[in-house]
Structure 1
Amino acid sequence: MSLEDETIDMEEADYSVSETATRPPSGTTTPLLKSYTYATPLPTDLEQDQECILGVDEAGRGPVLGPMVYGICYCPLSKKDELADLGFADSKTLKESERDNLLDVIMSRPDLIGWSVRVLSPMDISNSMLRKDKYNLNALAHDTTIQLIRETIASGVNLKEVYVDTVGPPESYQRKLEGLFPSVTKIVVAKKADSKYPIVSAASICAKVTRDDVLRHWIFAEKELDRTISREFGSGYPGDPKTKSWLKANMDPIFGYPNIVRFSWATCKTSLDESAKTVRWPDDDESNSQPRITALFGQSSTETADLAQQRKQYSTFASNAAPRPRPQLLQDMALKSVVDF
């Protein structure tokens, strides 16, 4: 996946660990190998069946490093002006300290605001995009948004208005959500929704602060890397010179990149093609000597001498045939052939 052709505001991020900074509850203290969801309790002043407004935004769609985080924020529809007065703005227009302060504001109002985030691990992003049945980043983003909205409704929130910062064409995306959530009377999917609707701006804050915290406190699953690897990886965007330098310096020629990297990005593939070692699997060496499927069955009157020889060579039941050497990979994995079920 390449996002390098997109126009992206590459914010200079400081991912050094501060001893005094308060971590958001949506971060993680373990290696991020699987995606997870964090959700707050319902607002304490929320009455049963009280109509609510919800906003959705993401952080980290374009970077080659770290998670992509989707955030939602909601409050009573009758209190949306009160929420707007708290001073939310698109997280990309704010300094890091300003974003942290605004998340503190959100967390100081559990009576008014509920929020949740879905943190998508780099490994899950890459595995999704590289699977055989095509599943691109837009589909992943849509499904994550749908999941967060469904979970909010399932928790007992009576959603009546939903505002989403679009991924892809807003018109078709809006129709899709309207079909999935008929009980929501107003759904707006728009470009730059995070700068137009305060409830989306609040969701943007939740997503961005969470992503920054996960990166700042990244725990490498690979042993020993936490003590030796540099964290000077810049903004994480493919076009950032610091990110490019970090990727070049931290690529293992055999094993590739640590799990902080989204290996499905074109940036990684190009780098691996240019600098990594070529790995040949045992099956690659045997691909030209594999028998035809007909060699596994009995000889017919029209069978050629060549096919007969293949059948004899590869048949499990050929009494006089020497056993076929087992591939080294199967030996290493202690796998055995099974003939009886």
Structure 2
Amino acid sequence: MSPVEPTLDVERGMLGEAPVVIGIDEVGRGALAGPVAVGVCAVRAIDIAVPFPEGLRDSKLLGEKKREALAPASAEWAWHSAVGWASAAEIDEFGIGKCLAAAAVRGLGSLWEAGVPISESAILLDGSHDWLTPGLDSPLRVTVRPKADRDCAVVAAASVIAKVARDAHMRDLETRDETLVPYAWSSNKGYGSAAHRAAIVSQGASREHRKTWLSRILTDSVTVTAVDQGAVEEANQIDTKPL
């Protein structure tokens, strides 16, 4: 069975009511190390009159080489795109929910600096929960759509752009600091692979790890201290209070 191809049907409908549609998707939410990245991709009617890049899909449905080819093509197709970030330290301090919103707001700020009228735009957010609105200073028109990264081209583009940027960031961390090599981020990108988990046990947590997420792996380690199960559960829940 072939993967579902995204369309622009939803975007066309939204552009009947707003001059710009901004697709948003997150990458790295479930990783044990590294930042969370949120891709934001803005299109107008004039942009979607041009076909989106051939082969564009949700980033999870693409191989690494295909994603790396599609990311610049997707950025060129869109009016403007950006990636917002929230660090592992911020995730430890504020929780993943607040940091998703913070990263998205930072990405939207980059679009605003590029001239995108954010307040007039319609937001198309992948998922089943609106984690963006609680982090906004003023309300935006946010439409939450499950599997929008699969079905909607502008969200698929945001997904691919964010995924390629975050993967490159994780590889760069490992390249610049040899003490991070044992965690094998060039292959696992900070997710909980067997090799990554084994390295956490043997090496302890690095400065790039989300330490409040590691108590089950490092139950007896001195690297993570004063972290009880309640704190871990809180860090993994969606916190809807603004950052």
Q: How far, CA to CA, are the matches of 1:145 and 1:75 in structure 2?
A: 17
The match for 1:59 is 27
Does 1:249 find its partner at 2:202?
A: yes
Mind listing any 5+ residue stretches in structure 2 that lack a counterpart?
A: 1-17, 227-243
Verify the 8 A CA contact 1:83 1:198 in the aligned structure 2: no
Q: How far, CA to CA, are the matches of 1:85 and 1:248 in structure 2?
A: 42
Give the number of the structure whose alpha-carbon radius of gyration is greater.
1
The one-letter code sitting in structure 2 at the alignment partner of 1:114 is H
The match for 2:184 is 232
The match for 1:305 is none
The match for 1:119 is 85
Q: How far, CA to CA, are the matches of 1:226 and 1:241 in structure 2?
A: 20
Q: How far, CA to CA, are the matches of 2:132 and 2:33 in structure 1?
A: 29
1:71–1:181 Cα change, 3 Å: same
Verify the 8 A CA contact 1:220 1:258 in the aligned structure 2: no
1:273–1:89 Cα change, 3 Å: same
Q: CA offsets, 1:153-207, max 9 Å, x none? A: 45431343321113x634xx5876999345x5xx321121101110000000111
Shift of 1:220: 8.1
Does 1:180 find its partner at 2:138?
A: yes
Give the alignment of 1:132-171 within 5 angstroms. Answer: 136-153=95-112, 155-158=114-117, 159-166=120-127, 169-170=129-130
Verify the 8 A CA contact 1:106 1:113 in the aligned structure 2: no
Residue among 249, 258, 261 paired with 2:206: 258
Verify the 8 A CA contact 2:47 2:79 in the aligned structure 1: no
Verify the 8 A CA contact 1:220 1:260 in the aligned structure 2: no
In the TM superposition, structure 1's runs of 4+ consecutive aligned residues that sit over 3 Å from their partners are: 83-87, 173-182, 270-273, 277-280
Relative contact order, CA 8 A, sep 6+: which one is greater?
2
Q: How far, CA to CA, are the matches of 1:83 and 1:177 in structure 2?
A: 33
Verify the 8 A CA contact 1:88 1:102 in the aligned structure 2: yes
1:274 alignment partner, SS class: coil
The one-letter code sitting in structure 2 at the alignment partner of 1:90 is D
The one-letter code sitting in structure 1 at the alignment partner of 2:65 is S
Q: How far, CA to CA, are the matches of 1:178 and 1:119 in structure 2?
A: 16
Verify the 8 A CA contact 2:26 2:37 in the aligned structure 1: yes
Task: Provide the aligned C-alpha RMSD in A.
Answer: 3.3
1:180 alignment partner, SS class: coil
Verify the 8 A CA contact 1:220 1:259 in the aligned structure 2: no
Does 1:218 find its partner at 2:173?
A: yes
Q: CA offsets, 1:14-36, max 9 Å, x none? A: xxxxxxxxxxxxxxxxxxxxxxx
Verify the 8 A CA contact 2:30 2:191 in the aligned structure 1: yes
Bigger share in helix: 2
Shift of 1:67: 1.6
TM-score for the superposition, normalised by structure 2: 0.70
Identical residues among aligned pairs (%)? 21
1:86–1:279 Cα change, 3 Å: closer
Verify the 8 A CA contact 2:35 2:88 in the aligned structure 1: yes
The match for 1:313 is none
The match for 1:197 is 152
